[in-house]
Amino acid sequence: MARKPFIAGNWKMHNDRRQSRALLQGLLDSVGHLDEVDVGVAPPFTALQTAGEVLYDNRILLCAQNVHYAESGAFTGEIAPSMLREIGVDHVIIGHSERRHIFGETDETINQKVRAVLDAGLGVILCVGEQLDDRKAGRTMAVVSRQVRAGLTGVGPEAAAHITVAYEPVWAIGTGLTATPEQAQEVHADIRTLLAEVLDRAAADAIRIQYGGSVKPGNAAELLAQPDIDGALVGGASLKAESFVDIVRAALPGR
């Protein structure tokens, strides 16, 4: 099944409003017209509204880096799904390894966020991935399977069009290390088999699975050529228009 590639840039805690506006304008000029690839950016919360204004009525998708699962309440410092939707957010990154391992988010909390975001009519980018000790011990799929099953608990196959899974081996995030295309493809294929079990085969075939972990212009094309790698969740290389554009272009069908 042909799935449109989805390249998303996670800016993490980088770029103020002025810097965000400049970067977005560069992306719009270079890849804002593309229909063959879905392109998304996830600015920090303070730049989301500015980004929404710049991207209004354009093809580039606006993503948020986090969300709370409640619609309102006494949750100081948190943001509700409806608040994100109001300013033009299309997708939310949930369960990034930095949220899991630095901020202590649990599988249960991540699942609550997934369901809240889907209920709000937004798309989910559900991040999963193992740490280096897990890979060395042969526990990669045990970890990834637990995260996928927990993250999608209570979610039905009808939500498939709004779900993206991002496989991000923790040992490859920001380290310069990257899973080989063969390693990444093996896990992506296993995730797709797992999705067929958790949801159904049609949903598994429809859901896009991104790879994340030191994706750069120099390795993007080989990674994206794998049959079950449907895009990339890009960190550092998304902070410069030139490098991010090169990754987007590497995803063009027939390249």
If one compares 194 and 132, the residue with the highest pLDDT of the two is: 194
Question: What's the rounded Cα separation, in Å, for the pair 218 and 13?
Answer: 24
Task: Please determine, for residue 1, whether its predicted confidence score (pLDDT) is greater than 70.
Answer: no
For the chain, what is the mean pLDDT?
A: 96
Lowest mean pLDDT among 27-41, 83-97, 173-187, 190-204: 173-187
Question: What's the rounded Cα separation, in Å, for the pair 158 and 202?
Answer: 10
What pLDDT, on a 0 to 100 scale, did the predictor assign at position 255? 66
Nearest alpha carbon to residue 150 among 111, 112, 187: 111
Tokens of 204: 């598994």
For the chain, the residue count is 255
pLDDT digits (tens, 9 = 90+) for 9-57: 999 999 999 999 999 999 999 999 999 999 999 999 999 999 999 999 9
Question: What's the rounded Cα separation, in Å, for the pair 13 and 15?
Answer: 7
Task: Please determine, for residue 244, whether its predicted confidence score (pLDDT) is greater than 90.
Answer: yes
% of the chain at pLDDT higher than 90: 93
Q: Which architecture, in CATH terms, is 6-250?
A: Alpha-Beta Barrel (3.20)
What pLDDT, on a 0 to 100 scale, did the predictor assign at position 178? 77
Neighbours of 249 (CB within 10 A): 17
Q: Annotated active-site positions, please?
A: 96, 168
pTM of the model: 0.97
What pLDDT, on a 0 to 100 scale, did the predictor assign at position 172? 85
Task: Please determine, for residue 177, whether its predicted confidence score (pLDDT) is greater than 80.
Answer: no
Question: What's the rounded Cα separation, in Å, for the pair 14 and 44?
Answer: 7
174 confidence band (pLDDT: 50, 70, 90) = confident
Domain boundaries, given as residue ranges, for the chain: 6-250
